[in-house]
């Protein structure tokens, strides 16, 4: 049974919440790397006098190799899950791009100018769609400067850097 619009919207919000929680991923990876060398269960060279310290039967080396292998598996799992996430996100983006505008409107939708001028942020070869929003009546309102989202952001960052240089 297909999902209703409300169910789909709820699932999208839940997915976005999960994606936002990925901000903690670098911290988790850093912790894994930190524990590789000195995990909480790191073995000690002393073995209650049963084995000699630094000898062939010293458990420290065995424990270190086992700990490193465990952490390597954790990192490989993270990499595999990130690859799956990237694939799924790419598929979703392709689907969204295909359906955001109807095929009839796609022909009429203006393309980005890439900026007109000689400033460093311009990209005259840009062919993306101009930023827009759909009104309640189904018509589109286009960004009046004729820029796509990427060029708009480049121009914004460029002007922000100019302001920061002038203030500093």
Query: The tokens 């909480």 sit on which residue?
Result: 40
Mean predicted confidence (pLDDT) in 65-88: 84
Question: To which H or E segment does residue 133 belong?
Answer: strand 132-134
Q: In the chain, pLDDT over 70 holds for what percent of residues?
A: 76
Q: Alpha-carbon distance 117 to 103, whole Å? A: 32
Cβ atoms < 10 Å from Cβ of 35: 17
Nearest C-alpha neighbor of 128 from the set 106, 158, 156, 95: 106
CA 89, 91, 96: angle at the middle one, nearest 5? 90
The span from the CA of 100 to the CA of 5, in Å, is 15
pLDDT for 40: 47
Residue 99's H or E segment, with its range, is helix 59-100
Residue 110 scores a pLDDT above 60: yes
Instruction: Calculate mean pLDDT across residues 84-109.
Output: 71
Confidence class of residue 59 from pLDDT cuts 50, 70 and 90? low
For the ranges 47-61, 68-82, 144-158, the lowest mean pLDDT is seen at 47-61
pLDDT band at 162 (very low <50, low <70, confident <90, very high): confident
Residue 70's DSSP bridge partners are none
- Give me the residues paired with residue 133 across strands: 141
> What is the pTM for the complete model shown?
0.42
| Distance (Å, whole) CA 148 – CA 37 | 47
The C-alpha atoms of residue 114 and residue 150 are separated, in whole angstroms, by: 9
Residue 21 is given by DSSP the state G
Structure confidence by residue, pLDDT tens digits, 25-37: 888 888 887 776 5
Give the mean pLDDT of 6-19.
84
Comparison of pLDDT for 58 and 90, the residue scoring more: 90
What pLDDT shows up at residue 32?
80
Q: Report, as an integer, the average pLDDT of 36-65.
A: 57
Round to whole Å and give the CA distance between 80 and 146. Answer: 40
């Amino acid at each position: 049974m297909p999902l209703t619009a409300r169910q789909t919207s709820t699932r999208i919000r839940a997915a976005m919440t999960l994606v936002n929680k990925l901000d903690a991923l670098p911290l988790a990876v850093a912790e894994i790397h930190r524990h590789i060398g000195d995990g909480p269960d790191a073995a000690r060279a002393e073995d209650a006098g049963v084995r000699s310290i630094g000898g062939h039967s010293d458990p420290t080396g065995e424990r270190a190799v086992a700990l490193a292998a465990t952490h390597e598996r954790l990192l490989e799992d993270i990499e595999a899950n990130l690859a799956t996430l990237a694939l799924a996100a790419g598929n979703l983006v392709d689907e969204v791009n295909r359906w955001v505008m109807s095929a009839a409107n796609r022909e009429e939708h203006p393309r980005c100018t890439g900026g007109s001028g000689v400033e460093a942020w311009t990209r005259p070869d840009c062919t993306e769609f101009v930023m827009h929003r759909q009104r309640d009546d189904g018509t589109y309102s286009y960004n009046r400067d004729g820029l796509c989202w990427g060029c708009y952001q480049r121009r914004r960052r460029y002007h922000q850097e100019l302001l920061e240089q002038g203030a500093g």
